[in-house]
Structure formats: structure tokens, C-alpha cells
Amino acid sequence: MEQRAERHFEQILIRARQVFDQIEILDQAFSPVSAVLKFRARWKNFLIAVSETIEADTRWYSYYLLIENRIAIGLDKFSDRPALRLKYGKDFVKHLYETIPHLHLDNKRKIELTDEKTFDDFVKMVLEFVE
């Protein structure tokens, strides 16, 4: 698992360095049970915030684009009450521990369900958002 995670994070960092500036790795660690990558980057006047963890059978992510502390894009795969409510309606409490891919927009005032995203998907969204 460690080698797979190492290769995966390396690909993310290669892509990040191709597109963004001032990459600052805040956390990167690997073990037999879990691996984590957290970094910040700048792009034009935007802040890029990325966290991702990999466990044996699961990938969790949080990819954010911020401008002046406001969240322009927030892609998460994590358990999230509003996202679960959107998916299951009033029955969402039966699914509270479910991880759900979703997208925060407009400083988290809007939320949309998504399919599972990759860091590449996030980069494309950032480029499209700014254009």
C-alpha cells in the first residue's frame, strides 16, 4: 500500500507543480495502514488547499480553491450532513457514516453531489473556473 500511495502522491505533486506556484508540503507520510498528503499552493491570486488520505480500500480527499479566504470550489469526499441530506432527503440520518463525494460552491452556501473526483479533475475545474 505504501508504494501505491507514494506513486499516487508523486503524480499529484507533479501535476500541481506543472500548474500552480509556491507549493508548500505541510504533511506527507506513509505507513502500512494509511498515507496522507497535505499541501498549499498559490495560483494567480488564489490559494489552493489539498488534503488526501489513502487507506487500504478507500481514498478520501479535500481539494479547495480559495480567494481572499472565501471558498470558490471545495471538492470533498468525506461524510457530510448537507450532502447526505441532498442525496437521501429526510432519511439521511440512516447514512451518517457514509462518505459522499460533493462540491461546495459560493463560500459553502451551495452544495452539489458529484461522482468521485481526482486531483486532475480538480485542476481542470480550477482552470475552467478562472477562465
Partner 1 sequence: MTMIAVQEKYLDTLKAFGDVNAQINQVIEDYVTRRIIERVRIARENTREFEAKYAMPYATFAERVQLNEDFYNQVSQANPLWEQDALVWRHWSEELQHWNSELNDILNKS
Q: Report the alpha-carbon distance of residue 60 to residue 100 in Å, rounded.
A: 10
For partner 1, the binding residue among 53, 65, 111, 126 (CB under 8 A) is 53
For partner 1, the binding residue among 4, 17, 29, 110 (CB under 8 A) is 29
Q: Identify the burial level of 2 via C-beta atoms within 10 angstroms of its C-beta, where 0-12 means exposed, 13-18 middle and 19 or more buried.
A: middle
80 binds partner 1 (CB under 8 A): yes
Stretch of residues binding partner 1 (CB under 8 A), selected from 10-18, 24-32, 117-125:
24-32
Q: Report the alpha-carbon distance of residue 24 to residue 103 in Å, rounded.
A: 24
For partner 1, the binding residue among 78, 87, 88, 103 (CB under 8 A) is 78
64 binds partner 1 (CB under 8 A): yes
8 Å CB contact between 64 and 75: yes
Q: Report the alpha-carbon distance of residue 10 to residue 73 in Å, rounded.
A: 23
Interacting residues toward partner 1 by CB under 8 A? 27, 29, 31-36, 38, 49-53, 55, 60-62, 64, 71, 74, 76, 78-81, 96-97, 107-108
